[in-house]
Amino acid sequence: MHPLDDSLAHLTRRAFIGRGAGGIGQLALGSLLLSALAGRSEASQVRSPRGLAGFPHFAPKAKRVLCLFQSGGMSHIDLFDQKQTLVDFAGKELPPSIKGTQRVTGMTSEQTQFLVVPPIAGGKLCGKSGLWISDLLPHLQTVADDLCIIKSLNTEAINHDPAITFMNTGNQLPGYASMGSWVSYGLGSENEDLPAFIAMVSQGSGKNPDQPIFSRLWGSGFLPSSHQGVGLRPGGNPVLYLANPDGIDREHRRAMLDDLADLNALHAAESGDPETLARIEAYEMAFRMQASVPELVDVSGEAAETLELYGPEVSKPGSYAANCLLGRRLLERGVRFVQLFHRGWDQHIALNRQLPNQCRDIDQPTAAIITDLKRRGMLEDTLVVFATEFGRTAYSQGGFGDPSAGRDHHGRCFTVWLAGGGVKGGVSYGSTDDFSYNITADPVHLRDFHATILHCLGVDHERFTYRFRGLDTKLTGVEPAKVVRGILL
């Protein structure tokens, strides 16, 4: 018997026998309902705790994903991919041979000068692996040996909306399914009391408000909407509509749901409608969520030392640090895909002022979650994805040295990193030219990146399709995509 059938069997037994509800308990009725389950139609299915048949395709290295998405376009130049030449050319025109004919955005395309700006802070070679990481990220420097830094990520998109949509859904235009919803669809959840895909948003202190973000980034697109990312928010209603209305406590709700289950079961028996049974189960799951989510977001039981690890902002609801800690708690509970969106990385202006703030938001908590997962033995089967929609230009947007100047968008090459489940630690993959402007070796298109993430989860991206608009649509799209084998354990 399928596990859901089993739980419904239990439920109907409870409704009809266990409590002898209102004199209508009869065993025959219960089994009649159960027999109706066999032909349950597509519509009647509760959010599945399990994934698709045949998934994963092969033994996964990672069971779950934590995606730390830095929204706005994080500067690879300042933080991960610095070059001495950038220092040498400070204030000088970016050589035309480097700049080439590739398109730039409408914000700088009219500039007459493209003056090179070196990284705004120093950095050092970290750990045994000697990866270079900016001094703006001192905590991250300490976990360098766990990181697999990809410096050759690239995208065709150069503006936020298409770029962030591309990175999160595999297509520049709206209408497609997000990474997390694909994973939820394919692999399902490991926890029946929580959604398989949870998303959280935090505001950056470098730039607030920054570029808007969109629910399509965690939406289900053409996939059934039961796979959309469920927003987890700070406050008394961490999931929208979770809290009972004022005046109704949990016990009171339970009593009402018992009546509801009885009435729905009666209707199912009368109508032969298996959807009604599935709805009973949905209400039961909702009731369980009303307990499991508050328990999840209650961090009062966390050790003081753990809280310290994440840094002072962990006590600030809705902060990136607080979301990182919640992320760990979600992963512990079997949530398949947790995604944080941290806004504020769009440093067109005041790079010197904004970027250190942004880095401070994320530095300690990001290092902390790597450490925390590792010491709990979870890093080896959790894939941590640290990504953004594009990098930033080597040249100045605005006058060189002007405190108001920043960097424009740069999709030709940018840096992301992976850690944990299935990838090598302490490695740098792909390389860029002396100005961190063009890729010189091992390009990784974002499609390849998606294919690699799926691979770590035991999924062959070529065989993971959904029929939409007449096509077997894939997260990796229609163009060829390859798994980046060189970074895999």
Query: Which residues on neighbouring strands pair with residue 134, listed in sequence order?
Result: 123
Tell me if 325 contacts another protein by CB under 8 A: no
Shortest distance in whole angstroms from residue 190 CB to another protein: 14
The answer to whether the CB of 197 falls within 8 A of the CB of 448 is: no
For residue 331, state whether it binds another protein (rule: CB under 8 A).
Answer: no
Contacts with another protein in 291-320 (CB under 8 A)? 312-313, 315-319
Shorter beta-carbon distance to another protein: residue 184 or 366 = 184
Residues in 357-386 at the binding interface with another protein, rule: CB under 8 A:
357
- Count, residues near another protein per rule CB under 8 A: 135
Query: What is the pairing mode between strands 391-397 and 406-410?
Result: antiparallel
249 in contact with another protein (CB under 8 A): yes
Q: Under the criterion CB under 8 A, does residue 20 sit at the interface with another protein?
A: no
Q: Which amino acid is at 160?
A: H
The verdict on 28 binding another protein (CB under 8 A) reads no
Is 289 a binder of another protein (CB under 8 A)? yes
Residue type, 260: L
Which residues contact residue 423 at a Cβ distance below 8 angstroms, ignoring those fewer than 6 apart? 61, 148, 383, 456, 487, 488, 489
Among 299, 349, 427, 488, binds another protein (CB under 8 A): 349
Toward another protein, which CB reaches closer, 361 or 448?
361
DSSP code of 294?
A: H
Residue 471 touching another protein (CB under 8 A): yes
Q: Do strands 337-342 and 230-231 pair parallel, antiparallel, or not at all (unpaired)?
A: unpaired
Q: Is residue 59 near another protein by the rule CB under 8 A?
A: no
Residue linked to tokens 């266990």: 18
Residue 245 engages another protein in binding (rule: CB under 8 A) = yes
- CB-nearer residue toward another protein: 210 or 372: 210
Residues 177-236 that bind another protein (CB under 8 A): 185, 188, 195, 201, 203-205, 207-216, 219, 224-226, 228, 230, 233-235
Phi-psi region of 474 (alpha: psi -120 to 50; beta: other; left: phi over 0): beta
Q: 138: part of which helix (H) or strand (E)?
A: helix 138-141
Sole binder of another protein in the list 61, 64, 151, 279 (CB under 8 A): 279
467 pairs with which residues across the strands? 472
Taking CB under 8 A as the criterion, the residue among 91, 272, 399, 480 binding another protein is 272
Return d(Cα 407, Cα 114) in angstroms, integer: 10
Least distance from another protein to the Cβ atom of residue 396, Å: 12
Does 276 contact another protein by CB under 8 A?
yes
Q: What secondary structure letter does DSSP report for 170?
A: S
State yes or no: residue 353 binds another protein (CB under 8 A).
yes
Tell me the C-alpha distance between 464 and 452, whole Å.
13
Query: Counting contacts by CB under 8 A, is residue 53 touching another protein?
Result: yes
**Residue choice 9, 17, 282, 307 for contact with another protein (CB under 8 A):** 282
Alpha helices in 250-350 (DSSP H): 250-271, 274-297, 304-310, 320-332
Identify the three-state secondary structure at position 384: strand
Find the binding residues for another protein in span 141-180 (CB under 8 A): 158-161, 173-175
Is 170 in contact with 447 (CB distance < 8 Å)? Answer: yes
Select from 11, 16, 47, 115 the one that contacts another protein (CB under 8 A): 47
Interacting residue with another protein among 130, 463, 480, 489 (CB under 8 A): 463
Burial annotation 162-183 (CB, 10 A radius, 16+ → b, else e): bbbbbbbbbbbeeebbbbbbbb
Should residue 266 be labelled a site residue for another protein when binding is judged by CB under 8 A? Answer: yes
Distance CA 355, CA 373 (A): 27
- Interface mask toward another protein for 401-420; x: CB under 8 A: --xxxx-xx-----------
Residues 101-140 that bind another protein (CB under 8 A): 103, 105-107
Choice from 28, 39, 128, 300 touching another protein (CB under 8 A): 39
Q: From the list 244, 250, 254, 295, which residue makes contact with another protein (rule: CB under 8 A)?
A: 244
Nearest to 197 by CA among 207, 179, 184: 184
